[in-house]
Structure 1
Amino acid sequence: MSQRFAFDWDAAYRVAGLPFGITPWTAYAEVSPTALRVRYGPWSLRTALSNITSATRTGGYTFVKTAGPPHLSFSDRGVSFATNGRAGVCVRFDRPVPAIDPTKRIVHPGATLTVADREGFAEALGVSLGG
């Protein structure tokens, strides 16, 4: 049985996401017994649970660097799916995965998701929540 995790939305992030089709109805993380699937408007990420190495609490994101569409970190090639600037979970992968590039040439060693239930999300992934 899959578990669906809603994002934790701040009002300003809702407004910033609307032009990109990112709403509470089109943004979620879903964990099945074998895989993680993230939908963020028209963008998506999918990976096997066996590819997940860790999950860490993160937070204090700047609005400009995180609001709207997914953002690519130039420092580590991670991808952010952010709906608030306060708190999220950074999930690290053993093998990088595609998410923001339709050609799948850009791959990410990690993804930050601002899900509402961070502890439950990490538990569903089968990892301890660090940080």
Structure 2
Amino acid sequence: MTEEFGFAFENRYRLPALVFGITPATARVRVTDDELLVRFGPWRLRTPLANVAGTTVTSGYAFHRTAGPAHLSLSDRGVTFATSSRRGLCVSFVEPVHAIEPTGVLRHPAATVTVVDPEALAAALRR
């Protein structure tokens, strides 16, 4: 079984996202029987569901820190895939994952995704 979640595109995020190839067609989160897959334009995150440690619904992201490409938090190395400032889901991992640079050297302990229904994604990750 596969569940797919689209990103919530706030109007002011559309142009900065488009510059990096991020559109509703290229930004999705997919949960399969055994994997979490995030596609955000050219960026990808893929990890086994067994690597998901937990989730938290978060909100109130600063536009200047989230619009455009995937973002790295300098404080905790988390990655943010944002198309809205309103709300999203922070997914924490048992083992950090790679997502925003091709060599896999940089690993992230958590990823935030601004999907349309964060609660439904959290429920899918708990199954």
TM-score band, normalised by the shorter chain?
Answer: over 0.9
Size of the alignment, in residue pairs? 127
Cα RMSD for the two superposed structures: 0.8
Within 1, Cα distance between the matches of 2:118 and 2:60? Answer: 15
The alignment status of 1:50 with 2:42, answered yes or no, reads: no
Percent identical = 53
The amino acid across from 2:21 in the alignment is G
Q: CA deviation at 1:114?
A: 0.4
Alpha-carbon distance in structure 1 between the residues aligned to 2:24 and 2:30: 14
Structure 1 segments, 4+ long, off by >3 Å, are none
TM-aligned CA deviation for residue 44 of structure 1 = 0.3
1:59-108 per-residue CA deviation (whole Å, 9 max, x = no partner) reads 11111100000000000000000010010010000000000011110000
- Equivalent residue for 1:5? 5
TM-score with structure 2 setting the length: 0.98
Which runs of 5 or more residues in structure 2 are unaligned? none
Cα distance in 1 between the residues matched to 2:17 and 2:118: 21
Aligned position for 1:36: 36
Q: Give the conservation status (yes or no) of the 8 Å contact 2:57–2:119.
A: no
Distance in structure 2 (CA, Å) of the matches to 1:57 and 1:119: 7
Q: Are 2:97 and 1:97 aligned?
A: yes
Tell me by how many angstroms 1:118 deviates. Answer: 1.1
Whole-Å Cα distance in 2 between the matches of residues 13 and 105 of structure 1?
Answer: 29
Paired residue secondary structure (2:102): coil
1:15 alignment partner in structure 2 = 15
Counterpart CA distance in 1 for 2:43 and 2:121 is 20
| Structure 2 letter corresponding to 1:76 | D
